[in-house]
Chains A and B, each alone.
Chain A
Amino acid sequence: MTGPERDAPPLTTEEEDLLDRSARLLAAEHPEEFIDVSARVRSTVRATTRRSRPVHAVFPSDAQGGGPDTLVVREWVVVGALRRALAALPGITPTQIRLRLEADRCRGVEVHVTATYGAVLADAASAVRTATRSTLADVLGPEALFVDRDAAGVPVDVTVDDVTA
């Protein structure tokens, strides 16, 4: 024993029982006011966005002879769309998604996932890349995804962090 445990007399059984009973009383409480707190938290969270970088999007213009329309999408929106797309893949759970941006241009994506035990990881990674590029094209527009015209598209780096049962 050290310090106060050594210097102070040990608690009696009576004292132990009293403190245990007291702690049980508090631990058994389910605070009614949490209902209000929970509602406020949900409302605040729905209205609260995290700091998020702008990402350049380009879509073909409907206007005759006009240039492409541009749009700025928050990184948060892109990541959310990717999360939903990847979570829909069988046996895949996304754990981290990061966009690589140069200025506001998407130049690549890093995706971390867990895969179900037994999955062929190369196939899983391929499915993740395909879903990622497809989603990026939907959200940012196909024109926004090319590093240059000769490239196949933005690189998607997939890391399988864990294999789960």
Chain B
Amino acid sequence: MLGPGSSAATSSRPPSAACAPPPAPTRDEDLALVRAAALGDRVAFETVVDRHGPALTRYARRAVTDPMDAEDLVQEALVSAWQSLDRFDGRSSLRTWLFGILVHKIGSARRRRRAVPVQDEVLDRPGPGDPLQAASDGELRRALEAALATLPERQRAVWLLVQVEGLSQAEVASALRTTPDAVRGLLARARRSLAERMGQWRA
């Protein structure tokens, strides 16, 4: 059980990022780095890589099944960003722009390769006497990853970007080249599907 007061109550909490992101670089700081990098300052670009690369890698690991593919795609996205920095106009945040490039790379890769099915046994229910509080984070993470892998691609992308990476729905819409209304719908469906697939963890 989750704890007192949690059973069967409905929630009106808005979906939000579950964890405050690490000290976020300001938009102005990012813009200054991009401008310097666009004029050839590789050190400035390496700072961009260090700032945003971990989040991109975290996202890619859940967006594709093969960890090596994830690393390759992040690398491709960052190098592509380096080569097209002069096209960054600052209308979106740098983070949104980078995620947009990565999402595009992942979509292209997915069209080239067949998706690898997820193993159902990963979703196996924890054994009796394993209450949620005692369940290891590793087990929950594995179950979540398995549940995520069953979501349609865009639902998974939206859930990861909003709830894990903390992008606003408008930013996600920009990265995915869709509308905020569509993002809202995808997020609601993703949350419902994940909650159902992970229902075993609440029993």
- A interface list, Cβ under 8 A from B: 2-5, 8-31, 33-34, 36-38, 40-42, 44-46, 48, 50, 76, 79-80, 82-83, 87, 93-97
Closest 5 CB pairs of A and B: A23-B18, A27-B19, A80-B40, A15-B195, A83-B39
Docked-complex contact B195 and A80, CB < 8 angstroms: no
- Per DSSP, chain A at the interface is helix
Instruction: Note all chain A residues with C-beta closer than 8 A to B2.
Output: 13-14, 17-18
A76 CA to B83 CA, complexed, in Å: 12
Docked-complex contact B54 and A30, CB < 8 angstroms: yes
- Shortest CB–CB separation between residue B170 and chain A, in angstroms? 16
Stretch at the interface among B103-111, B116-124, B160-168: B160-168
Docked-complex contact B79 and A44, CB < 8 angstroms: yes
Instruction: Note all chain B residues with C-beta closer than 8 A to A27.
Output: 17-19, 21, 58, 164-166
Tell me the chain B residues, 133-178 only, with Cβ under 8 Å from chain A.
137, 140-141, 144, 160, 163-166
User: Of B6, B42, B181, which one neighbours A17 at CB under 8 angstroms?
Assistant: B6
Is B12 close to A, CB under 8 A?
yes
- Per DSSP, chain B at the interface is helix
User: Of A19, A41, A82, which one neighbours B53 at CB under 8 angstroms?
Assistant: A41
Is B67 close to A, CB under 8 A?
yes
Docked-complex contact B198 and A40, CB < 8 angstroms: no
Instruction: Note all chain B residues with C-beta closer than 8 A to A94.
Output: 35, 39
Closest A residue to B1 by CB, please name it: A14
Docked-complex contact B35 and A96, CB < 8 angstroms: yes
Instruction: Note all chain B residues with C-beta closer than 8 A to A4.
Output: 185, 188-189, 192
- Shortest CB–CB separation between residue A108 and chain B, in angstroms? 17
Instruction: Note all chain B residues with C-beta closer than 8 A to A15.
Output: 11, 191, 195, 199, 202
Docked-complex contact A33 and B201, CB < 8 angstroms: no
Instruction: Note all chain A residues with C-beta closer than 8 A to B165.
Output: 27
Instruction: Note all chain A residues with C-beta closer than 8 A to B164.
Output: 23, 26-27
